[in-house]
Structure 1
Amino acid sequence: MIDTIQLNFARCGDRGVIIRVGDHCHHDEHAIELERRLLELGFVEGAQVEMLHEGLFGRDPIAMKVDDMRVALRRHEAASLSVRLESVIAA
């Protein structure tokens, strides 16, 4: 089973691959600007992500590893990213 979620629903320790950046809603200027900023930060399709930390109040902001760098985002910004989670096999 493949789990695809929006990144804002990820929990600490979750790992996956970005499969979609942005809402692809090209009539909303805010959505276009957010998508551009995320791409500039390295949130591109195929990038490996790992959730590292959640803030204390409302679990916001979140810190994650994107390929080889660490980035913090607000949860409403992370909602623009779709991630395919890696399945964890218990040994």
Structure 2
Amino acid sequence: MSLLLSEIKIGEKALIVAVNTEKIPLKLLEMGCLPGNLAELIQIAPLGDPYYFTINDSHVAIRKEIANEVTVVLENQN
């Protein structure tokens, strides 16, 4: 079952399966936010935005509106 990146829980790892490249900043794509890479949610900011992920050995902060443009599958379900 696919989810949005913004829907995974802290500590979960998910495989990126699709990215809306028209809405994702180029910098995130360069940092590895691409299909085939694993993303792990580390923390959510106190007000719920942004989300802190480890993607492709990089720590990145992604706003919720951008995380909604990334489709993932939980690691144990692929």
- 5+ long unaligned stretches in structure 1: 25-31
TM-score (norm 1): 0.74
Bigger Cα Rg: 1
TM-score (norm 2): 0.85
How far does the alpha carbon of each residue in 1:40-76 deviate from its partner, in whole angstroms, 9 at most, with x for none? 231011001100000111x211000002111001011
The root-mean-square deviation of aligned C-alpha atoms, in Å, is: 1.8
| 1:7 match | 5
More strand by percentage? 2
SS in 2 for 1:43: coil
Structure 1 distance, partners of 2:23, 2:30, is 11
1:1-91 equivalent positions in 2, closer than 5 A: 3-22=1-20, 32=22, 34=24, 36-57=26-47, 59-87=48-76
- What is the total number of aligned residue pairs between the two structures? 77
